[in-house]
Amino acid sequence: MEFDVMIIGGGLAGLTAGLALQEKGKRTAIVSAGQNALHFSSGAFGLLDREDPFGAVAELDEDHPYARIGADSLRTFAEKAKGLFARAGIELNGNPLGNGFRLTPQGALKRAWLTLPEVDLFPDEAAVKGHKVLIVNLLGYLDFNTSFLALGLEKKGCTCRVETLRLPEMERLRQNPSEMRSVNIARVMDNAWVKVAGEVKSLLKDEDWVILPQVFGLRDATVPSQIRETVPARVLFVGTMPPSVPGMRTQMQLKRAYEALGGTFLMGDEVLSAETGEARVRSVETRNIGRIGAKDFILATGSYFSKGIASDMNHVYEPLFAADVIQDEGRGSWYDPNFFNPQSFLSYGVATTPGFKVLKEGVPFENLYAAGSVLGGCRSLALGCGAGVALVTALSVAETI
């Protein structure tokens, strides 16, 4: 098989690059070794955990992808990202040129840039103050902790009441001791949501907010808004423990949009090796398809979890091309003993040129670009820039190609 561009990795960065390139008329393929980090989405995308994300670019390390793109181009790509999603049928909330806040399952506020359709984006912290909140959970659902959510909100001056629904529709699911999970509940809720909305309505007293777990709208993205129309209060959908229902749906929507544009999505396949020479990648070998050739290649393989980078006792490495990896010597310096402090290992990843061409022994591949969390030099968790880096670097690379 031959393509214009071969994208390795089917997560947020890979799909974004694929969509952008298909729109430009390129023939592309995405090979995805299993599902991706969208399944663990918070329901929101972070650009940078700063009040003015664009103004803060100047303060970032020089290796940070935004520092390389520059604040001006960052603005352009930020706007493009929202448009790209809209064309894929996903209307994200938020102004692409500014930050807001999302409410976490722990009742904390975290800075967010754009959110998935059912996830509220608050303009400021004051927007969460002083509400009367009805939090509704489903009986026996352990991945949505109402006590912590209530605690967090009460610290912000809200008053909370927690109620639990027992729906006969859930009893069948309950017979399985391990499957009372967001996605399975969401499958039940695809049909049972009308009942939930009705029950919530009858539970409502003088509350102005209702909070439900994100277990609605797996197949039909309009379900959350239909619930909102039924319940006479502001209904918020707050995240659960993974898998993320909105994240999973978004992945399916993006993949469908990509395929509708003529892209070839190879799900469950894996690049085993690559043929390289004279600073170029000629082809890759996948487990299912065999050799796939392309003019350009994008490495969007993700971080440790997705195996875009790997580690042994002494090194962090990039397994496919043996690309250069930004890292500290010796594992003693990889970690902070406090789990809640920033961890050095989370910033490791592939070294590139300022234009995101992948470096190997200091020499760039002419036609291999890196995008998303495989990139080194950014503490995406601490900086809250994971999704932003994925979207922006993917768009930047797509533009270069």
Partner 1 sequence: MTLQEYTSSSHNFEECMKCTVCTAYCPVVPANPKYPGPKQAGPDGERLRLKDPFFFEETLKYCLNCKRCEVACPSGVKVADIIQAARIRYSKSKPKLRDRILASTDFMGTLARPFAPVVNGMTGLGATKAVLDATFAIDKHRTFPKYAFKGFESWFRKEAPDQSRFPEQVAYFHGCYVNYNFPQLGKDFVKVMNAAGIGVSLLDKEKCCGVAMISNGMIDGAKKHAAHNVAVLGKAVESGKKILTTSSTCTFTMRDEYPELLGIDNGKVRDSITLATRYLYEKIVAGEVKLPFKKDFHAKIAYHTPCHMEKLGWGVFSIGLLKMIPGIELTVLDSNCCGIAGTYGFKKENYEVSQAIGKPLFDQIARVAPDYVACDCETCKWQIEMSTGLEVRNPISVLAEALDI
Partner 2 sequence: MSNRKDNEFDVIIVGGGITGAGTARDCALRGLNVLLIERHDIATGATGRNHGLLHSGARYAVTDRESATECIEENMILRRIARHCVDETDGFFITLPEDDLAYQTKFVESCTAAGIRAEIIDPKEAIRLEPSVNPDLIGAVRVPDGSVDPFRLCAANMLDAKLHGAKILVYHEVIEFIKEGDTVRGVRVRDNRSREIKDFYAPVTVNAAGIWGHHVAALAGANIGMFPAKGALLIFAHRVNSIVINRCRKPANADILVPGDTVCVIGTTSTKVPFEECDNMYVTPDEVDLLLTEGAKLAPALATTRILRAYAGVRPLVSADNDPSGRNISRGIVCLDHETRDGIKGFVSITGGKLMTYRLMGEQAADLVCKKLNINKKCETAVLPLPGSEGGKTEEVSKKIWSVPSAPQKAAAGRAGTRAKVIPLDNPLDQALVCECEEVSSGEVRYALDHLEVDNLVDLRRRTRVGMGTCQGGLCACRAAGMIAEARGCAEKAEADLKGFLNERWKGMYPIAWGNTLREAEYTQWVYNYVLGLNEQ
Closest C-alpha to 158, from 140, 133, 141, 134: 133
Cα gap 278→394, rounded to integer Å: 25
Longest dimension (CA), the chain: 71
Identify what 264 binds: partner 1, partner 2, none; CB under 5 to 8 Å per kind.
partner 1
Contact string (CB under 8 A) for partner 1, positions 162-181, x = contact:
----------xxxxxxxx-x
**Nearer CB in complex with partner 2: 40/122:** 40
**Nearer CB in complex with partner 2: 114/292:** 114
Contact string (CB under 8 A) for partner 1, positions 282-311, x = contact:
----xxxx---------------xxx----
The alpha helices in 64-220, defined as continuous H runs, are: 65-69, 71-87, 146-155, 171-174, 182-203
Angle at 356 between CA 38 and CA 46, to 5 degrees: 35
Question: In this structure, which long-range contacts are made by residues 96-104, counting pairs with CB atoms below 8 Å and at least 24 apart in sequence?
Answer: 97/54, 98/53, 99/47, 99/48, 99/50, 99/51, 99/52, 99/53, 100/124, 101/125, 101/127, 101/128, 102/42, 102/43, 102/44, 103/128, 103/153, 103/236, 103/238, 104/42, 104/152, 104/238, 104/239
Identify what 331 binds: partner 2, partner 1, none; CB under 5 to 8 Å per kind.
partner 2
Residue 229: CB partners within 8 Å, gap ≥ 6? none
**Shortest separation between residue 306's beta carbon and partner 1, angstroms:** 6
Collapsed DSSP state (helix, strand, coil) of residue 379: coil
Size of residue set near partner 1 by CB under 8 A: 39
**Shortest separation between residue 285's beta carbon and partner 1, angstroms:** 12
Task: State the residues that interact with partner 2 by CB under 8 A.
Answer: 37, 40-42, 104-110, 139-140, 142-143, 145-148, 150-152, 171, 174-175, 177-178, 180, 239, 241-242, 244, 303-305, 307, 310-314, 331-332, 334-335, 337-340, 343, 345-346, 381, 384, 386
Which residues is 276 bridged to in the sheet? 281
Site for partner 1 in 226-245 (CB under 8 A): 242-243
**Shortest separation between residue 330's beta carbon and partner 1, angstroms:** 15
Peptide bond into 243 cis (omega under 30): yes
**Shortest separation between residue 245's beta carbon and partner 1, angstroms:** 9
Identify what 301 binds: partner 2, partner 1, none; CB under 5 to 8 Å per kind.
none
Among 313, 329, 338, 361, binds partner 1 (CB under 8 A): 313
* Burial group, residue 241, by CB count within 10 angstroms (0-12, 13-18, 19+): middle
**Nearer CB in complex with partner 2: 18/247:** 247
**Shortest separation between residue 401's beta carbon and partner 1, angstroms:** 22
Contact string (CB under 8 A) for partner 1, positions 246-285, x = contact:
--x----------x----x-xxxxx---------------
**Nearer CB in complex with partner 1: 41/396:** 41
Cα gap 50→57, rounded to integer Å: 10
| CB contact burial 183-201 (16+ within 10 A = b; e otherwise) | bbbbebbeebbeebbebbe
Site for partner 1 in 27-66 (CB under 8 A): 33-36, 39-40
Query: Strands 100-103 and 109-112: what pairing?
Result: antiparallel
Closest C-alpha to 374, from 349, 338, 345: 349
Identify what 136 binds: partner 1, partner 2, none; CB under 5 to 8 Å per kind.
none
**Nearer CB in complex with partner 2: 149/398:** 149
**Nearer CB in complex with partner 1: 305/335:** 305
Identify what 259 binds: partner 2, partner 1, none; CB under 5 to 8 Å per kind.
partner 1
Cα gap 65→69, rounded to integer Å: 6
Binding residues for partner 1 (CB under 8 A):
1, 33-36, 39-40, 172-179, 181, 183-184, 187-188, 242-243, 248, 259, 264, 266-270, 286-289, 305-307, 312-313
